[in-house]
Amino acid sequence: MTDYPALNLKTPAEHPFAQFVRILGKGKRGARDLTREEASEAMGMVLDDKVEDTQLGAFLMLLRHKEESAEEMAGFTEALRARLNPPALAVDLDWPTYAGKKRHLPWYLLAAKCLAQNGVRIFMHGAGAHTAGRLYSEQLLNDLKIPLCRNWQQVSAALDNGGLAFMPLVDWAPQLQRMIDLRNTLGLRSPIHSLTRILNPLRARCGLQSIFHPGYQAVHRDASGLLGDTAIVVKGDGGEIEINPDADSHLYGTIGGESWDEEWPQLSSQRHVKPASLEPEHLKAVWRGDVVDSYPQMALISTMALALRGLGQSREQAFETAQQYWDARDRSI
């Protein structure tokens, strides 16, 4: 009589992260949002590399399909902030720049540069050229004399020397950069693209956020409110923090946990023609005053006003101050 080896019928233990995938993916009636605490725990496991790649892909795409809630965004942010160890730096504005521009040049870079010349301390951050056909901030930093910083010490020095510092996401949150880079593997952007807007890692006085897709602006405002942050969220041009002078702008603000809304009417009486191509040299020409161009003039002045509104000025005062700053700028570049 032949003896056969016994079958191993022991059920394998469930992976600790599986619960979060199940919560999001349990069908139309069974699925639900993560609580703020669950979101923080889930993102903490992701950041601590305690998640399988298959789980991460499923988690990100289920969130994308469901659309993330304010509580989830707040929980994700808390997990990241708990794992960062930046120095205590005085910063006025957190300025995320992740979308890239494809219709117009990034006039917001000149707006930030002009604000910094006038004592506004700005921390910018981005994730590189992750989508084809767009012009990203990182590609223009050198031409516009905006410091590219690779560690917090360089950020501190740049802020002290010129009031403006740019630091790539990969240098302060490499796990998030890895998830953004999955865009070309998964075929879709994930909620991490939105999350980067809300992080405000240095806890600036005000976080500026641009969210292009309708409906998400209020979610981001509410998430910032849950975190106790001061923030203004807009639908910026192309997804960047830049007011489009050819369209009305709705400001979604929060301060001290209280929400506010403000409508800014379009500045231009007629829509500008989109440039045939994006020529970075045009940025420098406008900064130097070599050319007169109404679209960038309106875009950068109103974007500066947006930032000053976030720092406490009224709309009227902010536009007046922005124009004064622009007229008195140091035009060397």
Query: Above 90 in pLDDT, residue 30?
Result: no
Under the banding of pLDDT at 50, 70 and 90, the label for residue 1 is low
Domain ranges of the chain: 18-83, 93-327
Query: Above 70 in pLDDT, residue 7?
Result: no
Least confident of 43-52, 148-157, 165-174, 212-221: 212-221
Query: Above 80 in pLDDT, residue 143?
Result: yes
Query: Above 90 in pLDDT, residue 278?
Result: no
Q: Residue 238: what pLDDT?
A: 87
- Span 150-178, average pLDDT: 97
Under the banding of pLDDT at 50, 70 and 90, the label for residue 35 is very high
Q: Residue 168: what pLDDT?
A: 97
- Span 50-59, average pLDDT: 95
- Could you tell me which residue, 269 or 171, shows the higher pLDDT? 171
Q: Which residue, among 320, 206, 187, has the nearest Cα to 253 in the 3D structure?
A: 206
Under the banding of pLDDT at 50, 70 and 90, the label for residue 4 is low
Q: Residue 308: what pLDDT?
A: 98
For the chain, give the mean pLDDT.
93
In tens, the pLDDT along 310-332 reads 999 999 999 999 999 999 999 99
CA–CA dist 159, 169 (Å, integer): 17
- Could you tell me which residue, 4 or 136, shows the higher pLDDT? 136
Under the banding of pLDDT at 50, 70 and 90, the label for residue 3 is low
Q: Residue 2: what pLDDT?
A: 64
- Could you tell me which residue, 132 or 221, shows the higher pLDDT? 221
- Span 21-43, average pLDDT: 93
Query: Above 70 in pLDDT, residue 283?
Result: yes
Q: Residue 112: what pLDDT?
A: 98
Q: Which two tokens stand for residue 106?
A: 């990034």
Q: Residue 207: what pLDDT?
A: 98
In tens, the pLDDT along 174-210 reads 999 999 998 888 887 888 989 999 999 999 999 999 9
Q: Which two tokens stand for residue 305?
A: 């006003």
CATH for the 18-83 domain, from 3.40.50.150, 2.40.30.10, 1.20.970.10, 3.40.50.2000: 1.20.970.10
Share of the chain above pLDDT 90, in %: 77
- Tell me the backbone φ, ψ of residue 79, rounded to 5 degrees: -65, -45
Query: Above 70 in pLDDT, residue 130?
Result: no
| Architecture of the domain whose range is 93-327 | 3-Layer(aba) Sandwich (3.40)
Under the banding of pLDDT at 50, 70 and 90, the label for residue 6 is low
